[in-house]
């Protein structure tokens, strides 16, 4: 087929495959694209009511998972507030986003403490709390670092931990790694792309 005939067919819309192939672009996310990563595939942890939860419970929603602890002075509340704000920025689609907080400090983060803590960011936020061994296993699977740092007074401590969120698409696949401080607008834009491609 000569070039002129091909151009005529394209102009007439007779070669949709060629046009579609040119337009097949990966979404441009603000966060780090982890599509196809072979870790952080799931979690199996109890919620504050003792009910076992996993990613399958949130199928159909974009899921934002963050590891932290309730006595965290800045990173944790800032991140959860950004997730809540991103949900608001999405309008009605915000209902299709699930925020999940996994504690790395089950010693102090009792179910009651966690319930009250996540309620500050929205009624639909879910907090998960395993045993110290379960928390360590899930963190390892997500490649999340955390470590207890003893305080100046006896019995006091803080937790050093990875300050990033993991975003799963509505099919339950790991897609994004969102660095701390990226902002609610960037997260909302990324979530909108994920929801549109579902």
CATH for 175: 3.40.30.10
* Per-residue confidence in pLDDT tens, the chain, 198 aa: 555 554 454 455 444 444 444 445 677 899 999 999 999 999 999 999 999 999 999 999 999 999 999 999 899 999 999 999 999 999 999 999 999 999 999 999 999 999 999 999 999 999 999 999 999 999 999 999 999 999 888 878 989 899 999 999 999 999 999 999 899 999 999 999 999 987
Please state, in angstroms and as integers, the Cα–Cα distance from residue 154 to each residue in 104, 109, 150, following that order.
20, 19, 8
Quote the number of domains for the chain.
1
The rounded distance, in Å, linking the Cα atoms of 159 and 99 is 21
pLDDT for residue 35: 92
- The answer to the question of residue 102 being in a domain is yes
- The answer to the question of residue 9 being in a domain is no
Strand extents, DSSP E, 49-145:
52-53, 62-68, 97-103, 126-128
**Cβ proximity of 84 and 76 under 8 Å:** no
69: domain range? Answer: 28-196
The rounded distance, in Å, linking the Cα atoms of 34 and 107 is 31
pLDDT for residue 153: 85
Known binding site for Cu cation: residues? 72, 76, 161
- The answer to the question of residue 121 being in a domain is yes
Please state, in angstroms and as integers, the Cα–Cα distance from residue 68 to each residue in 96, 118, 128, 194, following that order.
23, 11, 11, 24
The rounded distance, in Å, linking the Cα atoms of 37 and 34 is 5
Q: Report the DSSP pairing between strands 45-46 and 174-179.
A: unpaired
- The answer to the question of residue 173 being in a domain is yes
- The answer to the question of residue 3 being in a domain is no
Q: Which long-range contacts (CB under 8 A, 24 or more apart) does 112-115 make?
A: 112/48, 113/70, 114/48, 114/70, 115/48
- The answer to the question of residue 53 being in a domain is yes
Which of 38, 37, 42, 34 minimizes the C-alpha distance to 138? 42
- The answer to the question of residue 17 being in a domain is no
Known binding site: residues? 72, 76, 161
């Amino acid at each position: 087929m000569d070039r002129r005939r091909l151009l005529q067919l394209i102009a007439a819309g007779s070669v949709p495959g060629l046009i579609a192939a040119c337009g097949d672009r990966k979404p441009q996310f603000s966060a780090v694209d982890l599509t196809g990563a072979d870790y952080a595939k799931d979690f199996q942890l109890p919620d504050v009511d003792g009910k076992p939860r996993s990613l399958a419970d949130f199928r159909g929603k974009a899921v934002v998972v963050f590891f932290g602890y309730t006595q965290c002075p800045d990173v944790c509340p800032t991140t959860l507030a950004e997730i809540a704000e991103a949900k608001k920025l999405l309008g009605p689609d915000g209902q299709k986003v699930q925020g999940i907080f996994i504690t790395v400090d089950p010693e102090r983060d009792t179910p009651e403490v966690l319930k009250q803590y996540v309620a500050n960011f929205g009624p639909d936020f879910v907090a998960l709390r395993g045993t110290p061994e379960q928390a360590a296993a899930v963190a390892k699977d997500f490649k999340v670092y955390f470590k207890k740092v003893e305080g100046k007074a006896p019995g006091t401590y803080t937790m050093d931990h990875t300050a990033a969120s993991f975003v799963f698409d509505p099919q339950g696949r790991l897609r994004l790694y969102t660095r701390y401080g990226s902002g609610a607008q960037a997260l909302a834009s990324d979530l909108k792309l994920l929801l549109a491609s579902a």
